[in-house]
Amino acid sequence: MEHIDEIILELKRELKKKEHVDVYTGMYVNGDFIDFERNFLFEDRISVMLPVDFVEMDLVTARQKYPAENRPEFISTSQDTTINFTFKYTELPISEAQLIPSARQLRMAIQRLNPSNIFYESDSIQGENGSIIWFDYKSYALDDAMYNFIYLAEIDGMLFQGGFNCSFGIHKEWKNVAIQVVKSIKDRRKEQENESK
């Protein structure tokens, strides 16, 4: 009887996973349910769905984790700062057609900077307001291998660069979360223009 109860519980868990497949319904990651909420960034230019339990990384921690001066402007992080969504809104004009060559250049620059990085996929996502180009790779920190998911989008005619990173050991479940978060990005000006029509 106990064995049947375990099977029923597992079936219920699997059914719940199938009902919670994106940032709007919530998602299961490594057995934990993650709820999301819409965040408004960069003076309300951009909105994105992020995990409710994540917080904005403080500047001291951001400087330690991202020592380069051109670090992301906004970092949403897990409570233990091991899982991060990063965002940088630039003043660089760009068109959607320029995203693929720009992503290729960025990937080559990252590879030149550290030839030990291992690159995986490169693709595009149809987001809320247009195409978003992404690539992912494995890098090495002092004590762990890291998974990195980098993407570029055009927001209001300017380059928007974002990323996601976590320990490589947990990346398989989190990669889908990263893709869902990226799909939820909205250019608020386009959204407002569409609403006024």
Domains along the chain with CATH numbers: 34-196 (3.40.1000.10)
Average pLDDT over residues 142-146: 86
Residue 178 C-alpha from the chain's centroid? 4
What pLDDT does 115 receive?
94
Contact 161, 172 (CB under 8 A): no
Token digits for 196?
A: 């006024």
What pLDDT does 6 receive?
75
What pLDDT does 127 receive?
83
Res. 106: pLDDT tops 80: yes
What is each CA distance from 123 to 101, 136, 179, in whole angstroms? Answer: 12, 9, 11
Predicted structure pTM score: 0.87
Nearest to 34 by CA among 18, 53, 19: 53
Amino acid present at 75: I
Per-residue confidence band for 188, with pLDDT thresholds at 50, 70 and 90: confident
